[in-house]
Structure 1
Amino acid sequence: MASEAKQQKLEEPTDEDVKLDSLEDQETMYLPTDVTLMVEEKPLHLNRKWLSENSPVFKKMFESDFEEKHAEVIPLPGKKLKDFKLFLNSFYFPPFTPPITEETVLDILPLADEYQVQHVIEKYSA
């Protein structure tokens, strides 16, 4: 009887469990990678669908008749790896969202604007 109550208690999710296991977190952390963005010659293995759902620029890139539509590796010249990782973390990996500081705002906002990620623009402009 005590073990049943213990097991039931273990199986009931807490509010914190629900936050950690939200659909958004699951989707960003466990989607298979199907595209590699090259920034400063370093590969960033990502998921086209997730990028497209967050950025109209990526959506157009992957769904229109652009060269990138079928490319497995897409170079992004002129981007800084540090800045691009911060930008990706701001929406792609929610548990690792960068804090809002003057430095992160200056690093993230230009990329959020370029890739039209509205919720990131709003968050880091506030």
Structure 2
Amino acid sequence: MSTHTEDEKEECPKCPEPFTAHGKCLDEVRLVFDDQQELYVSQNFLILSSPVFEAMFKNDFKEKQQSAVLLKEKSYTDFHEFLMCIHPGTLKPVTEANVLRIVPIAEEYQVDSIIQSCKSVMKNWLEKEYVSAKSKTGFYMFHIKPTRQCLSILTTSLALNYISLVDNAVDIIAKMPHRIYYGSYKPDTLCTDYHSNTQEINGKKITYRKIIGECKTVFQTLPAELRCTILSKRLALDKDNVVK
């Protein structure tokens, strides 16, 4: 039996990624997205993976007769990433690069194994960002990206009601320079041109100025009580700190 290396699989037209080719399963179901892209999945695979899909196909849902599931307001790319994480042939790991994209899907379809992996990755990510920022105290520029990442984790945790992760994120964000997400920001001596200096986030290079703008926007969308908690904790950590 012939085998393919990883590089060969990427180039081989006969080796499409799982779920992207029609006709691989006798019990195939089409997952149809708003942009009309489709993924092709075994019905039994979905039933075994998710109690939500199990209920859908074992009860009298229209999808049972049509062999198609319309996934409205879902991202084709994110859902494919989620499926790759539960496919027994790939078991793609949950990482910082994909966790915030797949954890809402894992929750919606109640895939407990992925949910637990996502929570663990998010917790470790928060701690890593804090350690990274703490090791470079004194210069705001080194705290800009960690603050943005922590705010992203916080908003996702809040939306999914992950209370423990929300508390962790709040504690860590409170230790970051508050001017990054609230009040005025004054570039330090190592960041004299924060209009053009960049950091890479999610594979894209973004200027410090834009990241700070995003931090302020995200912070303002948080519930008022949570914003007050973060600022109160920040003040308690540094009695000389003045919020401007």
Under a length normalisation based on structure 2, what TM-score does the superposition of the two structures give?
A: 0.37
User: Higher helix fraction: Structure 1 or Structure 2?
Assistant: 1
Give the match for residue 121 of structure 1: 115
User: Contact 2:47/2:53 (CA < 8 Å) preserved in 1?
Assistant: yes
For 1:78, what is the secondary structure of its paired residue?
A: coil
Aligned twin of 2:135: none
Aligned pair 1:100/2:95, yes or no?
Answer: yes
Find out whether 1:65 has 2:25 as its counterpart: no
Deviations 1:44-92 (A, max 9, x none): 1110101110100000111111111222222111001111111111102
Distance change >3 Å, CA 125–CA 85, structure 1 → 2: same
1:9 matched to which residue of 2? none
Quote the Cα distance in structure 1 between the aligned partners of 2:119 and 2:26: 31
Aligned partners of 2:54 and 2:94: how far apart in 1? 26
Which of residues 104, 109, 112 in structure 1 aligns to 2:103?
A: 109
**TM-score of the pair, normalised by structure 1:** 0.69
- Alignment-derived partner of residue 34 in structure 1: 28
**RMSD across aligned C-alpha pairs, in angstroms?**
2.1
Separation in structure 2 between the aligned mates of residue 109 and residue 68 of structure 1, nearest angstrom:
24
Q: How far did 1:95 drift?
A: 1.8
- Distance in 2 (CA, whole Å) between partners of 1:57 and 1:68 is 13
Unaligned runs of 5+ in 1: 1-27
1:80 and 1:125 map into 2 onto residues whose CA distance is 21
Residue equivalent to 1:55: 50
Residues 52 and 95 (structure 1), Cα distance of their counterparts in 2 relative to 1, 3 Å cut: same
CA contact (8 A) 2:94 2:117 kept: no
Whichever residue aligns with residue 122 of structure 1, its letter is Q
Structure 2: runs of 5 or more not aligned:
1-17, 121-244
Sequence identity, in percent? 32
**Which residue in the other structure is 2:69 paired with?**
74
Matched ranges for 1:20-31 at <5 A: 31=25
Displacement of 1:116: 0.4
Where 1:108 maps in the other structure, the secondary structure is helix
Within 1, Cα distance between the matches of 2:63 and 2:95? 32
Q: Distance in 1 between matches of 2:94 and 2:108?
A: 20
Q: Give how far 1:32 is off.
A: 3.7
Aligned length: 98
SS in 2 for 1:70: helix
The letter of the residue matching 1:83 is: D
